[in-house]
Amino acid sequence: MAERTAQRLTKPEEYAELLDRFSTFLFDCDGVIWTGPTLVPGMTDVLTMLRSKGKNILFVTNNAKKSREMYKKAFDGFGIQASVDEIFGSAYASAIYLSKILKFPADKKVYVIGEEGIEQELKSVGIQFTGGTVRSKQNKEIGKFFAELILDIPLSPFDRILKIECLSPPEIIPA
């Protein structure tokens, strides 16, 4: 197979060829659809044009802080048509991997070192969890709690408050 190199499209026929060649387009959310609180200029027009041509659109993200429902609200806020089924994030990927690929047992728990997004996705596939946003912010209490748990799998996509003390056995946590 011949190696392809990136090419800048400059002519209408080049864009038409690109659109004819693909039925599905994937867009990263953070930094492509929007940057911070700002929608990338022209993005709504691009997505509308692709939909008018019957193209499938998927929105992907490696940001595990947000669930698909949370991303849907962001799309709504920007006035972008998007369904939850078109959004595929790392939090959802983790939940699906545990439930469908690993067939994680219903009587076991995942310890989440993360935020609300992963929690929502785990709930959506019926996986029990602890940790995450429900754990105490008191490191000593967290360490004691963590050390007493019988965990089946830890899951850590992202956590803004995690400190090493959270994972230390209680007898070595500084007072």
HEC assignment per residue over 3-29 = CCCCCCCCCHHHHHHHHHHCCEEEEEC
Cα distance between residue 157 and residue 145, in whole Å = 20
Helices 68-78 and 116-124: crossing angle in degrees, nearest 10, is 110
Q: Which residue has the tokens 């996986």?
A: 127
Cα distance between residue 81 and residue 141, in whole Å = 44
Catalytic residues: 28, 30
Q: Which residue has the tokens 């008018």?
A: 52
